[in-house]
Structures are given as C-alpha cells and as structure tokens.
Amino acid sequence: MNSPVVAVRNISDEELKSMLHEAAEWGAKRALADIGLHDDEAGSDVKELRGLLETWRDAKRTAFRTAISWLTKGFLIMMIGSVWFYASKKG
C-alpha cells in the first residue's frame, strides 16, 4: 500500500493547483447550497438582501438622527421654559 504522502510528493505543481482549485470550487458550491444560494435565483436573492440591508441601515440612521433632534428640541424647550419661568417670577 502506497503512503498518501509519497503520492502527494509525486504530483506536479499543475496537478496540485488543479486539485486545490477543484476542492475550493466544490467547497464554495457546498457552502452556498448549505445556506440556500445554490439555484439560478441566488444572484437576485443576494441583490435583494443587499437592498434590504441598505434600507435597514438607512432606517437606523434616520431613527438615530430623529432621536437626537427630539432630544435637542426638548432641551431647547426646557431652556426657554426655564427662562420664561424665571422672567415671570421677577416681573
């Protein structure tokens, strides 16, 4: 029985590259199949997912900006109310 190590030593660089390429391609196809992206619709599915992700990011950004805006307006209203309250006590 031949040792696998001896068999690997006797292959050419081209054969090794070909084997690695085939193994990588097989692994990529299996990984895509495992997550359900193995059919002809996979490209459009990925584009749709990217679109949804971008929409989610925009929504988060808008929500954060809105919250900051509300906090700023609330702070300014409190400041104006404090000035008004202080001015009405004196006068």
Helix, strand, coil percentages, rounded to 5, for the chain: 85, 0, 15
Q: 87: which DSSP letter?
A: H
pLDDT score at 66: 98
Sketch the domain layout of the chain as residue ranges: 1-38, 40-91
| pLDDT tens per residue, range 29-50 | 999 999 988 888 988 999 999 9
pTM above 0.85, yes or no: no
Percent of the chain with pLDDT strictly greater than 90: 67
Q: Is the pLDDT of residue 3 over 90?
A: no
Task: Say what the pLDDT of residue 23 is.
Answer: 97
The radius of gyration of the chain from alpha carbons, rounded to an integer in Å, stands at 32
Q: What is the mean pLDDT of residues 18-36?
A: 94
